Amino acid sequence: MELTAEQRDIVDFPLRHGEILKVVAFAGTGKTTVLEQFARARPSLRLLYVAFNKSVQQEAEQRFPTNVHCRTIHSLAWRSEGLRFRHKLVNQIRANQVMDWLNLDQHEVARFVIDTLQNFLVSADPRLHSAHVPTIARTHFGPKHLPDFVQQARELWVRMSDPQHEVPMLHDGYLKLFQLSKPELPYHIILLDEAQDTNPVTAQLLLQQTCAKIMVGDPHQAIYQFRGAIDVLSKVPVNATRYLTQSFRFGPTIAQAATSVLRQFKAESNAIRGAEKTDQLGRVQGSPFAYLARTNAALFDQATQYLGLRKFGFVGGVQGYQLPVITETWKLFEGRKKEVRDSYLKTFSSYEALRNYATQVEDFEWLGRCRLVEKHQGMIPELVEEMLEQSVAQEEAEVLFSTVHKAKGLEFAQVFLADDFPVLVREGRPLPREELATEEVNMIYVAATRAIDRLQPNSRLQSFLDIC
């Protein structure tokens, strides 16, 4: 296949043992193709491709040559550590469970114990200590009344790490055990994809390997800091840096819009170059199109506008958006606690107790549900039921709903941006960079660059583009 000069420079790079090559790849620039061709050019070497998630891993297995092992970081850890916990693996633990296990009497304390443990699990640290206690916990309780979160989290970790104990094991838990075992991976070169969203435990595990490494990603697509991710691309010393700026996804119009956002709010000096094709900014035309939002609450509100009117679906399937929990929250809101089936919600004495808890621990997922219930009130059960009944498979949808996080790595012919992104302009001038959180700017960039042919900016992005 014919490669661009940028791509060829990476494929031919003379990477030596122990060196690190950083590749900054903007949206749609064919980074996976470059890694594939790099591997094909070295058939005698054994390579490891580390994928961000299972679906990316499976797609890579179909593309890469046989000298490349495609794995997620958790699948690497599974055989040596995860397998012995297979009988008690869970995706998450809840505050009410921790209250029972540790004999605690406050949801807030249990929540902060979970957060303290989670901060340790995703860290590179060998031991759980006070730095893992969330800042919000210190603020909430104050120094004089701060519970011993470190000791409580350590106790939870000890029980979790025991295959015979009832406390279940988290996937990040067996990954942590794998990192602490200091494994030596049998590869000549490691290819780390989406490096900007790598958490410290993964970074430490891979960087301690003595082989050569290629770290590929886009620092402007770093949107998982809430999960403990760090931008490895910006923090790790490297031997050389290369750029992929030629996008094959969209044309010059969307490329210019994305470049304007990055230059204004992140001081990015490189311009994204669009493909030689026609693309447009403007209202979506006909269908299908994707509606992208920051929050599930914004998706729910917009989806109500299409009930009975258009065939709509959700990226990843409607089940992933936990709509029935909104109905359960409404029952608590209405004072009908006896009808609540959700075991977690049952542990709250009232709706006010749930809302106060979500506010105090900054649980934005539950706060979003609370706001939906307060806005739609008695309409909630009917809206949720109709949404579940009318939602169709992704490939059948005329309108496809997704959060930016779920849409990452995907692309759509037309994209319509929700209005729940931050304001970019004040009194006719762009906001100062220091007033916008980096991750918020990244969310706008990721959302806008999912579009292939047409992007409908929201009013806030449009106001900025009008004055560029």
**pLDDT tens per residue, the chain (468 residues)?**
689 999 999 999 999 999 999 999 999 999 999 999 999 999 999 999 999 888 889 999 999 999 999 999 999 999 999 999 999 999 999 999 999 999 999 999 999 999 999 999 999 999 999 999 999 899 888 889 999 999 999 999 999 999 999 999 999 999 999 999 999 999 999 999 999 999 999 999 999 999 999 999 999 999 988 777 677 778 889 999 999 999 999 999 999 999 999 999 999 999 999 999 999 999 999 999 999 999 999 999 999 999 999 999 999 999 989 999 999 999 999 999 999 999 889 989 999 999 999 998 888 889 999 999 999 999 999 999 999 999 999 999 999 999 999 999 899 999 999 999 999 999 999 999 999 999 999 999 999 999 999 999 999 999 999 998
Tell me which H or E stretch contains 141: helix 135-141
- The whole-angstrom separation of Cα 202 and Cα 147 is 30
Helices 95-102 and 149-160, packing angle to 10 deg: 90
- For residue 338, give its domain range: 322-384
- Read off the CATH number of the domain in which 409 is found: 3.40.50
Q: What is the pLDDT of residue 250?
A: 98
The 10s digit of each residue's pLDDT in 356-404 is 999 988 888 899 999 999 999 999 999 999 999 999 999 999 999 999 9
Q: Are residues 201 and 115 in the same domain?
A: no
Q: What is the pLDDT of residue 361?
A: 85
On the 0-12 / 13-18 / 19+ scale of CB atoms within 10 A, 86 is exposed
224 is written with which tokens? 């998982």
In a domain, 124, yes or no: yes
Q: For residue 185, what are the contacts with CB-CB under 8 A and spacing of at least 6?
A: 48, 76, 209, 211
In a domain, 268, yes or no: no
On the 0-12 / 13-18 / 19+ scale of CB atoms within 10 A, 383 is buried
The 10s digit of each residue's pLDDT in 5-30 is 999 999 999 999 999 999 999 999 99
Q: Among 117, 134, 167, which residue terminates a domain?
A: 167
Q: In what order do the strands lie in the sheet with 240-244?
A: 68-72, 47-51, 189-192, 212-217, 20-25, 240-244
- The whole-angstrom separation of Cα 77 and Cα 172 is 10
C-alpha distances out from residue 139 to 98, 112, 166, 222, 226, Å? 21, 12, 32, 27, 18
88 is written with which tokens? 């008690």
Q: Are residues 398 and 437 in the same domain?
A: yes
Which residue has tokens 């031997």?
A: 239
Q: Into how many domains does the chain fold?
A: 4
- The whole-angstrom separation of Cα 112 and Cα 123 is 16
Q: Are residues 326 and 237 in the same domain?
A: no
Q: What is the pLDDT of residue 232?
A: 78
Q: Are residues 197 and 333 in the same domain?
A: no
Q: What is the pLDDT of residue 338?
A: 94
Q: Are residues 221 and 128 in the same domain?
A: no
Q: Among 167, 191, 217, which residue terminates a domain?
A: 167
241-278: string of b/e by CB count within 10 Å (b at 16+)? ebebbbbebbbbbbbbbbbbbbebbbebeeebbbbeee
Q: What is the pLDDT of residue 233?
A: 79
In a domain, 250, yes or no: no
In a domain, 259, yes or no: no
Q: Which one-letter DSSP state was computed for residue 254?
A: H
Q: Which one-letter DSSP state was computed for residue 393?
A: -
DSSP readout, 275-322? PSS--EES---SS-EEEEESSHHHHHHHHHTTTTTS-EEETT-GGGG-
Q: Are residues 402 and 301 in the same domain?
A: yes
- Read off the CATH number of the domain in which 234 is found: 3.40.50.300
Q: Are residues 411 and 312 in the same domain?
A: yes
- The whole-angstrom separation of Cα 45 and Cα 214 is 14
Q: Are residues 343 and 397 in the same domain?
A: no
Q: What is the pLDDT of residue 109?
A: 95
In a domain, 21, yes or no: yes
Q: Are residues 416 and 438 in the same domain?
A: yes
In a domain, 271, yes or no: no
In a domain, 265, yes or no: no
Q: What is the pLDDT of residue 237?
A: 92
DSSP readout, 427-448? TTEEPPGGGS-HHHHHHHHHHH
**pTM of the complete model:** 0.89
- The whole-angstrom separation of Cα 176 and Cα 74 is 10
Q: Among 384, 406, 435, which residue terminates a domain?
A: 384
Three-state SS at 74: helix
Q: What is the pLDDT of residue 343?
A: 87
Q: Are residues 222 and 365 in the same domain?
A: no
Q: Are residues 406 and 305 in the same domain?
A: yes
Three-state SS at 348: coil
Q: What is the pLDDT of residue 140?
A: 85
Q: Are residues 363 and 312 in the same domain?
A: no
In a domain, 378, yes or no: yes
